[in-house]
Chains A and B, each alone.
Chain A
Amino acid sequence: SQQGEEDPQALSIQEGENATMNCSYKTSINNLQWYRQNSGRGLVHLILIRSNEREKHSGRLRVTLDTSKKSSSLLITASRAADTASYFCATDANDYKLSFGAGTTVTVRA
């Protein structure tokens, strides 16, 4: 069953702008991950944030986690054409299974 839900479903921005997407989930988690998927390809892991962390950075990516609101956000700064992709949040379930949301499709216009 899908626990995470991303918002918005789609996002179109100009190159150089920032992109922000959100993920909400229903039950308690140990950690939350963000993955990227280029069209027709497999997913690539971007970042993992643990339930006791509030913010994490990796290059141009900034992830926040608010466990009281059961939500996370992914910020991509200074976007590039290569950032055009779908982004998924994944929450942990039992037995190291992951539950994925439906994703946010980001289009970066040149």
Chain B
Amino acid sequence: DGGITQSPKYLFRKEGQNVTLSCEQNLNHDAMYWYRQDPGQGLRLIYYSQIVNDFQKGDIAEGYSVSREKKESFPLTVTSAQKNPTAFYLCASSNQGAWEQFFGPGTRLTVL
């Protein structure tokens, strides 16, 4: 079964803690993306990576970090520097040169 998986589905974090969200794909896609979605709003790009060992900041990268050590994995760390981290986080991937993105089921992060 090809697709994108995100884990966990729900995540609770205390203020001041770092937390890492997992994103794995077996679609053999080169590009991967992380988005943040707040209630009633569209998606905002946090980070993206077009190739292994390379990634770029999106529109709202402050307080987040990523790594791309493997083609199939693109974990996102929400650091304590992110002032308002409670949101729904979506990971996506796409083929090189293609515009269509395939999305994972999302992780809902709540800061207590």
Contact = CB atoms under 8 A, between A and B. Distances in A.
A40 B50 contact: no
B103 A42 contact: yes
Given A1-B59, A48-B99, A102 B40 contact: yes
Contacts of A69: none
Nearest to B91: A42
Given A43-B90, A96-B94, A102 B42 contact: yes
Nearest to A6: B42
Nearest to B38: A102
B58 A97 contact: yes
Q: Is the interface of B mostly helix, strand, loop or mixed?
A: strand
Contacts of A4: 42
B90 A42 contact: yes
A78 interface: no
Interface in B89-107: 90, 92, 94, 97-106
Nearest to B43: A100
Given A45-B100, A95-B56, A96-B50, A102 B41 contact: yes
A15 interface: no
Interface string A11-44: 0000000000000000000110101000011111
A92 interface: yes
A contact residues, range? 20 to 34
Nearest to B100: A45
Given A43-B90, A48-B100, A88 B42 contact: yes
Contacts of B40: 9, 102
A42 B42 contact: no
A1 B88 CA distance: 18
Contacts of B94: 96
Contacts of B59: 1
A6 to B, nearest CB: 8
Given A45-B100, A98-B99, A103-B42, 13 more contacts: A2-B44, A33-B100, A42-B103, A96-B50, A97-B33, A98-B101, A100-B42, A100-B43, A101-B42, A102-B40, A102-B41, A102-B42, A103-B41
